[in-house]
Amino acid sequence: MESFASTGLINLLLRVVGTVDPALVAGQPLPDPFASGIQSAGSKRNLVDRVMQKHGPGLLLSVGQHLHLIGETPVASVFRRSADPHVLADKWQRLERYHHASHRTRIEPLGHEGWECRRHSIDSMPTAGENCLIAGLLMGLAGLVGARNCRLVVAGSELAPSDLANTDLPPGVSFETFRIVWSPFQLQDMPDQEEQPETATGMADRLAGLLAGDVGRSWKIGDAARQMAVSTRSLQRHLAADGRSFSSALRRARMLQATRLLTDTATPLAEIGYCCGYADQAHFQRDFRRVTNITPKRFRQASGQAIPAR
């Protein structure tokens, strides 16, 4: 199976490298994230190798400090809406699986104060340069969703954002394993409000608003109940009284977002399922046909929205 890389990531890397060393990327066009969500992984690896050979790891590690250059792409919006770094970590790992990336990142939480990260592969192992790029990107994303005082920990050294650009790799260090830590992140623990009467429809409406606020998250009913300050059983009971279920509410939120992206934007078909919270393209296709009786591609054609060229 061919391995793919995110178009948005390649676009960001080219922009950052182009500000430091324009000659290194001269003649290489910026790929359009709205034309295709993925590119051949070989193009990313070749670029990373050239940067590593000429500038070392520092430039690659610092790419994540320039996330503002990405713009408001659908995937970037999914990341920015994360309620906390651990929701973000789940989204990152799902993105790697969704696009069948051969190089992936296993992220384990360190309480509310960091991640333990290990890079691995289902094919050839990622290079040190590729690991540096992802480590720096994850550090930047953690800060983007509210993690304060982020540091990258590798080989016993802590690197603050201001240290990244001048970092050199100690002998034998490949960034295969690293930590990203931050000041304690305060999660919102909502008090239980079940004693306050609420209609079934009101509860369903609140759930719909919550899901719509971050439809790109891998929602579980327990997550939603905690955010709504009710027990899982109470949420199920209210939804049942209104003739609904959590799965149907989640499907509705996902379909509303999918149809919006299909009709109102040029988001590539390969990314829409991910942006709507699905684990893979096949699951998205099945759900979409179940609701609309046609494929996403046919729906976009019927809506009059041109499908971006691949």
For the chain of 310 residues, list the mean pLDDT of each consecutive stretch of 10.
72 93 91 77 87 95 92 86 94 90 92 94 87 96 94 93 91 91 70 51 89 94 94 92 90 93 90 94 92 91 62
Per-residue model confidence (pLDDT) at position 195: 44
Per-residue model confidence (pLDDT) at position 40: 76
Per-residue model confidence (pLDDT) at position 200: 63
CA distances in angstroms from 23 to 14, 19, 50, 145, 167, listed in the order given: 11, 10, 11, 34, 22
CA distances in angstroms from 301 to 95, 176, 265, 269, 289, listed in the order given: 26, 44, 13, 12, 15
Q: Residue 117 pairs with which residues in a beta bridge? A: 107, 178
Question: Which residues belong to CATH 3.90.1520 in the chain?
Answer: 4-17+36-181
What torsion do the CA atoms of 28, 32, 37, 39 make, to the nearest 10 degrees?
Answer: -10
Residue 233 buriedness (CB in 10 A; 0-12 / 13-18 / 19+): exposed
Per-residue model confidence (pLDDT) at position 110: 94
Per-residue model confidence (pLDDT) at position 231: 94
Instruction: Say which amino acid occupies 87.
Output: V
> What SS3 state is found at 10?
helix
Per-residue model confidence (pLDDT) at position 219: 95
Q: Which of 224, 231, 278 is nearest to 95 (CA)?
A: 278
Q: What is the pTM of this model?
A: 0.86
User: Which tokens in the block code for residue 213?
Assistant: 């606020």
pLDDT digits (tens, 9 = 90+) for 53-111: 999 999 999 999 999 888 778 888 999 999 999 999 999 999 999 888 888 999 999 98
Beta strands in the chain (DSSP E): 4-6, 38-40, 103-109, 114-121, 151-154, 157-159, 177-181
Per-residue model confidence (pLDDT) at position 275: 95
Residue 53 buriedness (CB in 10 A; 0-12 / 13-18 / 19+): exposed
Q: Which numeric CATH code is attached to 4-17+36-181?
A: 3.90.1520
Question: Which residues belong to CATH 1.10.10.60 in the chain?
Answer: 200-295
Contact predicate 30/14, CB 8 Å: yes
Per-residue model confidence (pLDDT) at position 56: 93
Topology of domain 200-295, per CATH? Arc Repressor Mutant, subunit A (1.10.10)
Per-residue model confidence (pLDDT) at position 249: 93
